Amino acid sequence: MKSQLQLNKLNSFKEKVYSFSFANYPSTSRIHKLQNFSSLNSIYVKRDDELGFGASGSKLRKYLSLIPFLIQNKYHEVIVIGGAYSNNILTASQLLIENNIQPILFLPEIKNENRRGNFLLTSLLIDKNNIHFLNQSDFSSLNLIIENYCQHKKEKGINVGIIQEGANMKEALPGALSLCFDIIKNERDNNIEFNHIFVDSGTGLMAISLILGFSYLNKNTKIHVLQVAGHKDEFNNSIQFYLDYFQKQFQIQINTLSDYELYFPSSAKSFGSTNASIFKSIIDICRNNGIITDPIYSAKLFHEGKKIIEKNDLQGNILFIHSGGGLSLFGFQNELFKYYNKYCDSN
Ligand SMILES: *Cc1c(COP(=O)(O)O)cnc(C)c1O
């Protein structure tokens, strides 16, 4: 962002994004060096985990614009769809209740003995009458079930909104774009420019917003995306969808997309799965870097990112986004204890 022209472009882009209503959640986080991570001395971490305790990181950014949208629509209830242990369900539940909107959860069936971790926390927030458990055949007719639910409520004068899985919605894009502006602020404050950024991806919206923002600003940073969920095609379709929406919504043009690359976990490949090497990484990152990471997103990102840096001999300034989600660790106490005994308490 050196020339005046680039600065003007950044400022007018920012103005367009912030012309949407934004909630006043924290949206700036610090960066610091990641010590003892690899032989490179120029690896940094962005502490989006510090944006909050209950709601943190990527999710909090998406809700910066999504919650004001739901409030403006005067919904009495909002349906939230997702997995029982989902960070999004847990985040949405907190923020909706705070705003006096009743969350209605649509979750896959789950046994009571599996009420732990995020699902246990969500159960503290939401009465069981407002949780609808669906079996597999219900999921194949989910749209119809939701339509019926909304219609039934409408007849009673109750206005119902919907949050899609992972809050992957266009109304969350302005909030998600705050990450792009915050990284540019970090660069300016620290007098540094990043050559590579590592970010994790579930639905892809956070990573996509970063790619779109950097593309529009012609930033010369390669974005390395670790896709912990979904397929390559889904990500690429989604980027096309959001590219079209972005250009229409902000009335601006992206000529070429920034350089980005998709990776998949080489270890504990399927979404939500974990294994010994992921827990070993969690312990290593604790001991070497003083950072607590969750096994679903961040530990996988650091684990895989380190391999990618070494394999490709990446150079320059590198940034890892710690996207938050630490509360899910609460569901892995037995594993943490097991691997503590295995790796830390051997004498
Ligand atoms: C949801 C989530 C992500 C992924 O965000 P997407 O926009 O769905 O790709 C990353 N990290 C954490 C901790 C999350 O909860």
pLDDT beneath 70: ranges in the chain? 1-2, 346-347
pLDDT tens digits for range 43-78? 999 999 999 999 999 999 999 999 999 999 999 999
Residues 37 and 76 in one domain: no
Domain boundary residue, one of 106, 136, 167: 167
Cβ atoms 161, 70 nearer than 8 A: yes
86, 178, 238, 258: the catalytic one is 86
SS3 label, residue 279: helix
Radius of gyration (C-alpha) of the chain in whole angstroms: 20
Query: How far, in Å, from the CA of 134 to the mean position of ligand 1?
Result: 23
CA distance 174 to 22: 9
Q: Which residues have CB under 6 Å of ligand 1? A: 57-59, 87-88, 166, 168, 200-207, 297, 323-325
Shared-domain flag, residues 337 and 226: yes
Report the separation in Å between the CA atom of 317 and the middle of ligand 1, taken as the mean of its atom positions. 23
The predicted pLDDT at position 347 comes to: 54
Cα 48 from Cα 298, distance rounded (Å): 11
Domain count of the fold of the chain: 2
310 plus 238 within the same structural domain: yes
Task: Clarify whether residues 187 and 267 are in a common domain.
Answer: yes
Q: 46 and 20, same structural domain?
A: yes
Atom in ligand 1 nearest the alpha carbon of residue 62: 7
Smallest CA separation from ligand 1 atom 13, residue: 325
Ligand 1 atom closest to 91 (CA): 15
Question: Is the torsion defined by CA of 20, 178, 59, 200 positive or negative?
Answer: positive
Report which protein residue has its CA nearest ligand 1's atom 11: 323
167 neighbors 96 (Cβ within 8 angstroms): no
Q: To test ligand 1's pocket by mutation, which of 206, 235, 241, 330 has the most ligand atoms within 8 angstroms of CB?
A: 206
pLDDT recorded at residue 15? 98
Strand 318-322 with 260-263, pairing: unpaired
In the residue annotation, 238 being an active-site residue is answered as no
309-341 as b/e, with b when 16 or more CB fall inside 10 Å?
Answer: beeeebeebbbbbbbbbbbbbebbeebeeebee
> pTM of the prediction?
0.97
282: which residues sit within 8 A by CB, 6+ positions away? Answer: 292, 293, 295, 299, 336, 339
pLDDT, tens digit, for every residue of 212-254?
999 999 999 999 999 999 999 999 999 999 999 999 999 999 9
| Residue 24 identity | N
- Within 10 A of 244 (CB to CB), how many other CB atoms are there? 10
The answer to whether 298 and 201 are in contact (CB under 8 A) is: no
- Give the range of the structural domain holding residue 245, as residue numbers without chain letter: 4-58+174-343
Measured in Å, residue 15 CA sits from the centre of ligand 1 at 25
In the listed set 148, 167, 186, which residue is the last one of a domain according to the structure? Answer: 167
Q: In terms of Cα–Cα distance, which of 242, 311, 306, 232 is closest to 264?
A: 232
Say whether both 213 and 234 belong to one domain: yes
Give the three-class secondary structure for 322. strand
Nearest Cα neighbor of 177 from 78, 61, 94 is 61
The CATH number of residue 333's host domain is 3.40.50.1100
Q: Are residues 77 and 99 in the same domain?
A: yes
Final residue of a domain: which of 108, 136, 167?
167
Same domain, 120 and 69: yes
Q: How far is CA 200 from CA 7, 22, 206, 280, 292, in A?
A: 28, 24, 8, 19, 16
Q: Quote the Cα angle for 148-120-158, to 5°.
A: 25
Residues 333 and 204 in one domain: yes
Q: Are residues 50 and 92 in the same domain?
A: no
Q: Which of 44, 43, 61 is nearest to 52 (CA)?
A: 61
- By residue count, the chain amounts to 347
- Decide: 331 and 299 in contact? Cβ < 8 Å: no
Residue 265 and residue 332: Cα distance in Å, rounded?
A: 19
Q: What does each C-alpha distance from 321 to 43, 105, 225, 301 come to in angstroms?
A: 11, 29, 11, 9
- Cα 299 from Cα 286, distance rounded (Å): 10
Q: Are 64 and 52 part of one and the same domain?
A: no
User: Is there a single domain that holds both residue 319 and residue 282?
Assistant: yes
Ligand 1 centre and the CA of 200: distance in Å? 7
